[in-house]
Amino acid sequence: MGEKIKVGVIGAGRIGKIHASNIIKNFPDVEVKAIADICADNIREWAVGLGISTVYDDYKKIIEDPEITAVIICSSTNTHSQITIEAAQAGKHIFCEKPIDYDVDRIHAALAAVKKAGVKFQVGFNRRFDHNFKKVKELIQSGEIGDVQIVKVVSRDPAPPPIEYVKVSGGMFLDMTIHDFDMVRYLTGSEVTEVYANAGVLVDQAIGEAGDVDTALISLKLKNGAIGMIDNCRKAVYGYDQRVEVLGTKGAISVGNDTPTTVVVSTEDAVVNDKPKYFFLERYMESFEAEMKDFFYSIAHDTETVVSGIDGLKPVLIGIAAQKSYKEGKPIRLEE
Amino acid sequence: MGEKIKVGVIGAGRIGKIHASNIIKNFPDVEVKAIADICADNIREWAVGLGISTVYDDYKKIIEDPEITAVIICSSTNTHSQITIEAAQAGKHIFCEKPIDYDVDRIHAALAAVKKAGVKFQVGFNRRFDHNFKKVKELIQSGEIGDVQIVKVVSRDPAPPPIEYVKVSGGMFLDMTIHDFDMVRYLTGSEVTEVYANAGVLVDQAIGEAGDVDTALISLKLKNGAIGMIDNCRKAVYGYDQRVEVLGTKGAISVGNDTPTTVVVSTEDAVVNDKPKYFFLERYMESFEAEMKDFFYSIAHDTETVVSGIDGLKPVLIGIAAQKSYKEGKPIRLEE
Amino acid sequence: MGEKIKVGVIGAGRIGKIHASNIIKNFPDVEVKAIADICADNIREWAVGLGISTVYDDYKKIIEDPEITAVIICSSTNTHSQITIEAAQAGKHIFCEKPIDYDVDRIHAALAAVKKAGVKFQVGFNRRFDHNFKKVKELIQSGEIGDVQIVKVVSRDPAPPPIEYVKVSGGMFLDMTIHDFDMVRYLTGSEVTEVYANAGVLVDQAIGEAGDVDTALISLKLKNGAIGMIDNCRKAVYGYDQRVEVLGTKGAISVGNDTPTTVVVSTEDAVVNDKPKYFFLERYMESFEAEMKDFFYSIAHDTETVVSGIDGLKPVLIGIAAQKSYKEGKPIRLEE
Amino acid sequence: MGEKIKVGVIGAGRIGKIHASNIIKNFPDVEVKAIADICADNIREWAVGLGISTVYDDYKKIIEDPEITAVIICSSTNTHSQITIEAAQAGKHIFCEKPIDYDVDRIHAALAAVKKAGVKFQVGFNRRFDHNFKKVKELIQSGEIGDVQIVKVVSRDPAPPPIEYVKVSGGMFLDMTIHDFDMVRYLTGSEVTEVYANAGVLVDQAIGEAGDVDTALISLKLKNGAIGMIDNCRKAVYGYDQRVEVLGTKGAISVGNDTPTTVVVSTEDAVVNDKPKYFFLERYMESFEAEMKDFFYSIAHDTETVVSGIDGLKPVLIGIAAQKSYKEGKPIRLEE
């Protein structure tokens, strides 16, 4: 085993904490050398408890540390592209939470900086690393169901985020559906060429007043001829609903929800099963570790990252097209 | 118990035979007095075996028989509206297989004749009588899941019909999806206001050459604000796939496929469940009897039929809009 | 097709009515010429409604009718063996509801009469004709799971019968488990050599006071070396629980309960599935028709009945052994 | 937070390694100060990789280390009781893998030493900490299904252990079923009063020649009146089968197998689900961590361990009774 990879974590909100903790627990060959957060004081105790002694309030300190060879960008979305550029210029490998940016030009600038620097760059589309969806991908790739004809994603949250969050979220298509756009690209290995968003405000009128939608069925055309559909809702009272179905010429694949247990209770009233795991933290916890593993592997073995810069860009382009489709009430073609 | 209802069955193809046989077996208060088919000789032995002694090659004989008070129209689609008009004029109650016609004007003419005559008229949307879908309807009506937000129908055939049939079928949207348009109306109790058809030829190029599609995801807007999606394919190699999902403000309902058995076989290779029941005859057999029961009930008790003339008209209008949407590549609004 | 088979139904309780009605509906080549019941007056209207004009209060009238070639014995259990003897002596084919008798000597006498007369004899173990269990049998026979090692039957009623019935039922092992003993023999094609009954009164103390048990786990040894277990309870509040599991050297088969629908309702509280079909009438209705079909087939084609006299005898012997095992608290071997 | 708990791990076979690794990863307040294994050289590299610098070949070094306050005994079964005694005398808290011993007197001696020393003692019945079974226990305790009437455990291995292992295993009832005896006690909170073992050699004749059985249905009577059944097989070709069913006066609970994914593949041939997770390492990994958590909690908070010395003794007594039952062919009562 060579030297440890030294990383700096930028942003210690919920997901930043998860990544930092996962690295410390599960990657003996990686060291979290420093963590930066604009509210450094709030996280100091947590960091020390984990064994991270260096806590900055300015991420530039991490960029400037020559011993740190990789950064995990978990700060607020509007800072992703800028920090990516600075980290790339400093020659650091980059794991960047999704989305890279809501602004396409800024994404291009970030990707250009990454390209120029020749550093590894991975976007945090963690669902690609989920046990269920990974298996679907493998089955499709193995030819098990022939050529893909229809791909369908159900992705519903248990409850809408606070309205303050909705207002700055970039809209449901960029905030929530972006994962599903990535899933469609990941599973089919093809590009979306057209998008039509059938959507509405059916959960909370306040979301509509904030200029957003909360429920959508998004119709997709793919380059390989297949057609697709994404089903989103900000509120599914029974829990976090994360499913996929794929129909191919030789068969179909479906993925149901994960549940906390397999317990079934039968009484005079009903036969009751577990609800889905509550939300993304419970549901996707293992994938957060798996994506890190992959990131560090690509650094250690100098391989391509599994989720590239283009993979970060494309879903944003589709999301913007979906917004336009909804506004104009017609399908929108994506440019080549 | 009063006198028997005497019926005449017009058209003794597959579905005509099923209706005739069901009536004889299950409705002691109904008598199949005569059956008519343009190939009368071919069905005589079958008819006599069932105890139907009168077999005509001209359906007009049935229309002219004053003892016959109800007709079951199972002849080819292009004759439905004409026979409906004649039967109505002769004062007979009418059960008419779907669709009433592919021509909207002819449907209007048929419905006008029915209205004028004041006879009962029921269209053969048998899936409304299916145990699964009926339960979904009841649950929605009872308020179990609150207001409907999303309704989704999966309806895939195990194999495409002969290409000769495809050519005269009226197209997939009118031949196959028509059932699903009815299902959406039935379950939601609301009307479709806009339709967008994302479709393609992914199963068999010959279907495309015949001017039809074989795979589609059809996006719907409903008057009550809900949105919907229908998933169709002419070929699902694993069998007849008939499912529904509804999301509401208080919960969700889903319906899976019926299977021949509940047997699960676990071996070194796999854990194997039954495939869905093979096709519509196996899957919906019980519903064919249930719709007849309802038809005779409405005659005997002078009540409204459950599937009215309007219910026959609307899915045709939606289907035509879907065709237009596919051709023009944009959503089509339905007129009020 | 030759002449119709003319049958007489003896006993018009619940199951007698089902058989009579099934024959009339589904077997055009069979005629129910007469029906006999000790309360003839009570059933006359029902019989006439079905088209059976001859209703006797004395079953001997049926035995004496030379035109009747087969009888369906559905009278109370204590009359089965005597009527079987008389019917056999009159040369009639016999379908006899289970059990033939609680008294082994009387069963032997009945079977001897049947043998001497050379008539067809079928016992009403209808579950052999159930779609689920038949499929299990076929899979075992086809070698799909190799040699059978373990066979397990779950058979629980939704609610105990009236205590008056319990008192004359012959005890749970002969009244209820008898079907499960038959199922074990049917599925494995092997004979039970030893039985150990672990049982108790856990549902209703009144059942214990009547000298019976209401809950049991019955351990079995089979001639082919396999071992088995039957799980019975007089009261499963969630409904009629009818399952089977078989483990073999190459795999396992399991059968779950049939449900009225495949509807799943997900709310904030729970994910709810249908309970099992309520009781044996709903659950096994189709098997009552299937066993009749088989009986008439064996008459028409002079073949062996699928459920023979020995199949009627053996479960009674096992049931008696189970009673003894429970009383003596030890395994009981069955004599060859 | 106070000082770290310093532990010594005794025995670094498969399970010892899992415990050591789990502690290091997941319990920042616990330190693995040393590890002992008779083949110390073989594990040194592994230990150092984990950050454990002290590796002994003699467990007594751990016993003698005054800084070590707790030991994790994972050595071979025949050493458990002796090491327990020595560790207790040295005042160390003890986590001991199951079984404590196959000899009842030696178990008593070990438990006496534990009691005298007043140290914590927990036996490694990890399944009590499994997400599924824990939920079952909670539901029973909450009264959800009323009084327990029937409890059934299915516990089948994917493949038999090497015959050399079988010979020294103590026999299937003590090696494998012991977990299931514990499960019955855990779920019901009641004691087994009688056991009847219906068993055989149906998997591999060599197992029979070694004096053991490989397939069993074990019937149980419980102090609270409930009855139970354990279903064991050394070889279920479809994988590790770990299920439980409980019937109570107000309902039933069942637990199915965990699977790697929820993927379902439907093709022309079959509808295929995942097989169960392959074996106990995959299936129960999370429970090994959970039991450690509980052990350290009981040390830190001076509470009773969840799996006590009596819980270690009782399953051995039941296993010995099962062996006797099998040998003598009759039910065996357990003494109070």
pLDDT at position A2? 59
Rounded to whole angstroms, how far apart are CA atoms C271 and C40?
A: 50
A260 near C CB under 8 A: no
pLDDT at C1: 43
What is the model's pLDDT at position B55?
A: 97
What's the one-letter identity of residue C48? V
The pLDDT of residue A3:
81
Q: Chain D contact for C272, CB < 8 A?
A: no
Distance in angstroms between the alpha carbons of the first and the last residue of chain D: 44
The tens digit of pLDDT for each residue in C253-298 reads 999 999 999 999 999 999 999 999 999 989 999 999 999 999 999 9
Residue B1: the pLDDT is 43
Taking residues B5-25, report their average pLDDT.
95
Give the nearest partner residue to A263 out of D26, D135, D257, using CB atoms: D135
Which one of C30, C265, C277 would you mutate to disrupt binding with B, by most B Cβ within 10 Å of its Cβ?
A: C265
Q: Percent of chain B, pLDDT > 70?
A: 99
From chain A, pick out residues whose CB is under 8 angstroms from the CB of C156: none
Task: Find, in chain D, the residue whose alpha carbon is nearest to that of B275.
Answer: D271
For the stretch D34-51, pLDDT in tens is 999 999 999 999 999 888
Write out pLDDT tens, residues B146-191.
999 999 999 999 999 999 999 988 999 999 999 999 999 999 999 9
Strand partners, B245: B152, B254
**How far apart, in whole angstroms, are the C-alpha atoms of residue D233 and residue D22?**
30
Quote the minimal CA–CA distance from C270 to chain A in Å.
6
Instruction: Please list every residue in chain A whose beta carbon sits closer than 8 Å to the beta carbon of residue B250.
Output: 237
pLDDT at C335 (0 to 100): 80
User: Which chains pack against C, by 3+ Cβ pairs within 8 A?
Assistant: A, B, D
- Closest partner residue to C233 (CB to CB) among D149, D156, D236 is D149
Per the listing, tokens 């979306």 go with A192
For residue D251, what are its two tokens?
């309902």
Residue C131's pLDDT band, with cuts at 50, 70 and 90, is very high
Residue type, position B289, single letter = E
Please, which residues have CB within 8 angstroms of residue D250's CB and are 6 or more apart in sequence? A267, A268, C237, D143, D144, D145, D146
CB contact under 8 A, C215 and D147: no
**Residue numbers in A near D251 (CB within 8 A):** 265-268
Its sign, for the CA torsion A127, A133, A134, A138, is negative
Which one of A236, A268, A271 has the shortest CB-CB distance to C273?
Answer: A271
Query: For an interface test with B, which of A155, A192, A194, A219 has the most B Cβ atoms less than 10 Å from its Cβ?
Result: A219
Average pLDDT over chain B, rounded to whole?
A: 96
pLDDT at A237: 97
Tokens read off for A169: 């979220």
Arithmetic mean of pLDDT over chain D:
96
Identify the burial level of B303 via C-beta atoms within 10 angstroms of its C-beta, where 0-12 means exposed, 13-18 middle and 19 or more buried: exposed
pLDDT, tens only, D120-163: 999 999 999 999 999 999 999 999 999 999 999 999 999 999 99
pLDDT at D1 over 60: no
**How confident is residue A336, by pLDDT bands cut at 50, 70 and 90?**
low
Query: Percent of chain A at pLDDT above 70?
Result: 99
Q: What is the 3-state secondary structure (H, E, C) of chain D?
A: CCCCEEEEEECCCHHHHHHHHHHHHHCCCEEEEEEECCCHHHHHHHHHHHCCCCEECCCHHHHHCCCCCEEEECCCHHHHHHHHHHHHHCCCEEEECCCCCCCHHHHHHHHHHHHHHCCCEEECCHHHHCHHHHHHHHHHHCCCCCCEEEEEEEEECCCCCCHHHHHHCCCHHHHCHHHHHHHHHHHHCCCEEEEEEEEECCCCHHHHHCCCCCEEEEEEEECCCCEEEEEEECCCCCCCEEEEEEEECCEEEEECCCCCCCEEEEECCCEEECCCCCCHHHHHHHHHHHHHHHHHHHHHCCCCCCCCHHHHHHHHHHHHHHHHHHHHCCCEECCC
Between CA C210 and CA C199 the distance in angstroms is 15
State whether residue D263 sits within 8 Å of chain B by CB. Answer: no
Residue of B nearest to A149 (CA): B202
Q: Scan for tokens 């074989």, then name that residue.
A: B214
Judge: A270–C268 Cβ closer than 8 Å, yes or no.
Answer: no
Give the residue from A26, A249, A261 with the most D CB atoms within 10 Å of its CB, the best one to mutate: A261
Q: Is C220 on the interface with D (CB under 8 A)?
A: yes
The arithmetic mean of pLDDT across residues B212-233, rounded, is 98
Nearest-by-Cβ selection for D329 from C156, C231, C331: C331
B-chain residues near A237 (CB < 8 A) = 249-251
pLDDT at D336 over 70: no
CA of C237 vs chain A CAs: smallest distance (Å):
5
Sequence letter at residue C144 = E
Query: Tell me, what's the pLDDT at D23?
Result: 96
Which residue in the block uniquely carries the two structure tokens 């408890």?
A: A49
CB–CB contact C273 A268 (8 Å)? no
Which residues of B are less than 8 Å from D275 in CB distance? 266, 270-271
Taking CB atoms and an 8 Å cutoff, what residues of chain C touch A236? 266
pLDDT at C160 over 50: yes
Nearest CA in chain A to B214: A149
Residues 14-43 of B with CB under 8 A from A: none
Residues from chain B contacting residue A203 (CB–CB below 8 Å): 149, 249
Mean pLDDT of B288-295: 97
Q: Does D329 touch chain C (CB under 8 A)?
A: yes
Taking alpha carbons only, the member of A199, A194, A192, A147 closest to residue A173 is A199
pLDDT (average), residues D299-310 = 96
Contact B161, B174 (CB under 8 A): no
| pLDDT tens-digit map of D273-300 | 999 999 998 999 999 999 999 999 999 9
In tens, the pLDDT along D239-258 reads: 999 999 999 999 999 999 99
Three-point CA angle D10, D14, D17, nearest 5°: 55
Please tell me the distance from the alpha carbon of residue D73 to that of residue D75, in angstroms, as a whole number. Answer: 6
| Residues of chain C neighbouring B51 (CB-CB closer than 8 A) | 28
Of A217, A237, A250, the CB nearest to B219: A217
B271 and D272 within 8 Å at the Cβ level: the answer is: yes
Instruction: Give how far Cα A52 sits from Cα of A8, A76, A285, Å.
Output: 10, 22, 21
Q: Which residues of A touch D267 (CB under 8 A)?
A: 144-145, 250-252
Q: Is C196 on the interface with D (CB under 8 A)?
A: yes
Asked whether the bond before A99 is cis by omega within 30 degrees of 0, the reply is yes
**Chain C residues with CB-CB distance to D228 below 8 A:** 217
Tokens 């007979």 belong to: B92
Angle at which helix A14-26 crosses helix A40-50, to 10 degrees, equals 20
CA distance D94 to chain B (A): 40
At residue C49 the predicted structure's pLDDT band, cuts being 50, 70 and 90, is confident
Interface test with B, best of A232, A237, A253, A332 (most B CBs within 10 A): A237
Q: Tens digits of per-residue pLDDT, C221-243?
A: 999 999 999 999 999 999 999 99
**Mean pLDDT, residues D180-195 taken together:** 98
Is C119:C304 a contact under the CB 8 Å cutoff?
Answer: no
Question: Residue B258 phi/psi, 5° resolution?
Answer: -80, 145
Enumerate residues 6+ apart whose C-beta is below 8 A from A172: A199, A212, A213, A214, A216, A232, A234
CA distances from C63 to B39, C85, D276 (A): 47, 11, 58
Q: Name the closest residue on chain A to residue D251, using Cα atoms.
A: A267
Q: Do B270 and D270 touch (CB under 8 A)?
A: yes
pLDDT digits (tens, 9 = 90+) for D60-116: 999 999 999 999 999 999 999 999 999 999 999 999 999 999 999 999 999 999 999
Specify the pLDDT at position D3: 81
pLDDT recorded at residue D49 = 87
| Chains adjacent to B (≥3 CB pairs closer than 8 angstroms) | A, C, D
Best probe of the D interface among B238, B271, B277, by most D CBs < 10 A, is B271
Taking contacts as CB-CB distances below 8 angstroms, the residues of chain C near B1 are 49
CA–CA separation, A205 vs A187, rounded Å? Answer: 34
pLDDT of residue B65: 97
Assess A249–C contact: CB distance below 8 Å, yes or no.
Answer: no
Residue D104 to residue D112: CA distance in whole angstroms: 12
Report residue B2's pLDDT band, with 50, 70 and 90 as the boundaries: low
Smallest Cβ distance to B135: which of C26, C263, C267?
C263
The reply to whether D220 touches chain C by the CB within 8 Å rule is yes
Tell me which chain D residues have a C-beta less than 8 angstroms from the C-beta of B262: none
Does residue B243 have a pLDDT over 50?
Answer: yes
- pLDDT score of A1: 43
pTM value? 0.95
Question: What pLDDT is attached to residue D53?
Answer: 87
Contact A263 D252 (CB under 8 A): no
B26 to chain C, closest Cα gap in Å: 7
Backbone phi, psi, residue D113, to 5° = -65, -40
